[in-house]
């Protein structure tokens, strides 16, 4: 190992309690980006952004990943030094030309970045106040704003990124997951009743017009939806939400209507709107079958992560219990789950925790951190490791 001698002197402005500098240990994947962008002519640098409101614990985001920031204490004090500028006349230069460094700061901690789940919990709450209910209601809303001289609380992509702790790519994935669409440069949620009405009209039109459900074209669907005065953006959004998108030989997207996505939507609507959010199983299955076109099949597996069966021995009732309304934090998620049920089978709990880790191995580690595993006959059962309030 190469060594060299240097003289250290304390800066006149040094204040050991000021912490003028903060050290950040970069993960290899981020450090590699800095190394790859060393070409001064390219003008490009890795996009690292600190995101969070004043009351949030800050996260650092790349264009595709979110990192939690954690302070790590060290046993040794680290010195931040810089070479001292020498006077031109060399009057103060050391006789042996030993390099002189000025100590600018002393630190005993550094910031560590670890990949974490994007903090999208406030995304739906933000957009719920901007629900789109169709052109007629939209015109009324705009009129009321003008009359009352009120500003619209609408969110562009940039404004969402300044509010939600997530990377750019993860934000777009989160928006897609909650069914948001961009209308005139701002993101909106479709009112559930309006979406249900539009989807029913589109499905009825597809059947009446004998359109191929596996090769739908946006242009043709837009034409049949003109009778309902549905905006083009909404029609395309419905096709993207309830179909698997393909591209034909001419490069034009075609839409293969998804039984699972359509069935899941109508099933969730019935569960969410049921009295006390609980329905006798036989009544639910009957209503669900009536809501979905006969050409499309239904199956309870379509509703994974949306329901619990009460009195499993008889299957007496089905209760609405959506994963989307659970906390994103792992500890809070498990607390909510065990407050709802003291015991969970592996098959029942898995849909509600599958997003907490990127791999099965890490998910198993999280599961065993918060739950005790036992066997009841041939079945694996999980109970809380901690007292449930």
Q: State residue 44 phi and psi, 5-degree precision.
A: -105, 140
Assigned fold of 329-389: Arc Repressor Mutant, subunit A (1.10.10)
pLDDT value at residue 143: 87
Dump pLDDT digits (tens) for 183-206.
999 999 999 999 999 999 999 999
pLDDT value at residue 16: 60
Give the least confident one: 15-29, 108-122, 141-155, 279-293. 15-29
The runs of H, that is alpha helices, within the chain are: 28-36, 121-128, 135-148, 157-161, 168-177, 192-208, 218-224, 232-242, 259-273, 281-291, 330-340, 346-353, 360-370
pLDDT value at residue 328: 85
pLDDT value at residue 105: 85
- The more confident residue out of 90 and 341 is 341
Ranges 7-11, 124-128, 278-282, 301-305, most confident = 301-305
- The more confident residue out of 204 and 80 is 204
Q: What is the pTM of this model?
A: 0.80
- CB atoms under 10 Å from CB of 103, counted, come to 15
**Domain map (residue ranges) of the chain:** 6-116, 121-259, 329-389
pLDDT value at residue 1: 62
Binning the chain into helix, strand and coil, the percentages to the nearest 5 are 40, 25, 35
Give the least confident one: 16-20, 64-68, 250-254, 341-345. 16-20
For residues 222 and 235, is the Cβ–Cβ distance under 8 A?
A: yes
pLDDT value at residue 93: 47
Return the half-sphere exposure (C-beta side, CA atoms, 13 A cut-off) of residue 209. Answer: 16
Q: Which long-range contacts link 59-63 to residues 24+ away (Cβ below 8 Å)? A: 59/116, 59/119, 59/165, 60/113, 61/165, 61/166, 61/167, 61/168, 62/30, 62/33, 62/167, 63/167, 63/168, 63/169
- The more confident residue out of 329 and 321 is 321
Dump pLDDT digits (tens) for 125-184.
999 988 999 999 999 988 888 888 888 789 999 999 999 999 999 999 999 999 999 999
23-51 mean pLDDT: 73
């Amino acid at each position: 190992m190469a060594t060299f001698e240097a003289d250290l002197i304390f800066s006149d402005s040094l204040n050991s309690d000021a912490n003028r500098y903060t050290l950040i240990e970069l993960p290899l994947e981020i450090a590699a980006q800095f190394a790859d962008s060393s070409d001064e002519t390219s003008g490009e640098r890795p996009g690292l952004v600190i995101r969070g409101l004043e009351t949030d614990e800050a996260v650092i985001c790349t264009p595709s990943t979110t990192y939690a920031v954690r302070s790590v204490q060290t046993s040794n004090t680290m010195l931040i030094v810089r070479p001292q500028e020498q006077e031109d006349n060399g009057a103060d230069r050391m006789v042996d030309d030993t390099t002189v460094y000025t100590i600018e700061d002393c630190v005993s901690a550094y910031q560590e970045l670890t990949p974490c789940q994007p903090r999208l919990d406030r995304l739906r709450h933000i957009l719920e106040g901007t629900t789109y209910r169709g052109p007629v209601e939209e015109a009324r809303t705009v009129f009321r704003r003008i009359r009352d001289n009120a500003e619209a609380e609408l969110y562009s992509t940039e404004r969402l990124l300044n509010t939600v702790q997530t990377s750019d790519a993860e934000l777009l994935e989160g928006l897609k997951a909650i069914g948001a669409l961009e209308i005139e440069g701002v993101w909106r949620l479709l009112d559930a009743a309006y979406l249900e009405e539009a989807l029913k009209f589109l499905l009825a039109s597809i059947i009446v017009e004998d359109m191929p459900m596996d090769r739908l074209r946006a242009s043709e669907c837009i034409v049949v939806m003109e009778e309902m005065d549905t905006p083009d953006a909404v029609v395309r959004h419905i096709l993207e939400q309830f179909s698997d998108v393909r591209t034909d030989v001419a490069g034009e997207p075609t839409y293969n209507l998804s039984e699972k996505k359509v069935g899941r939507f109508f099933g969730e609507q019935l569960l969410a709107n049921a009295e006390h959010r609980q329905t006798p199983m036989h009544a639910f299955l009957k209503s669900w079958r009536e809501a979905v076109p006969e050409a499309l099949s239904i199956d309870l597996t379509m509703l994974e992560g949306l329901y619990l069966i009460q009195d499993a021995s008889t299957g007496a009732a089905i209760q609405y219990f959506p994963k989307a309304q659970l906390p994103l934090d792992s500890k809070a998620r498990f607390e909510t789950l065990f407050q709802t049920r003291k015991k969970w089978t592996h098959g029942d709990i898995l849909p509600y925790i599958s997003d907490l880790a990127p791999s099965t191995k890490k998910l198993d580690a999280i599961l065993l951190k918060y739950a005790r595993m036992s066997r009841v006959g041939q079945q694996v059962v999980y109970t809380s490791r901690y007292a449930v309030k």
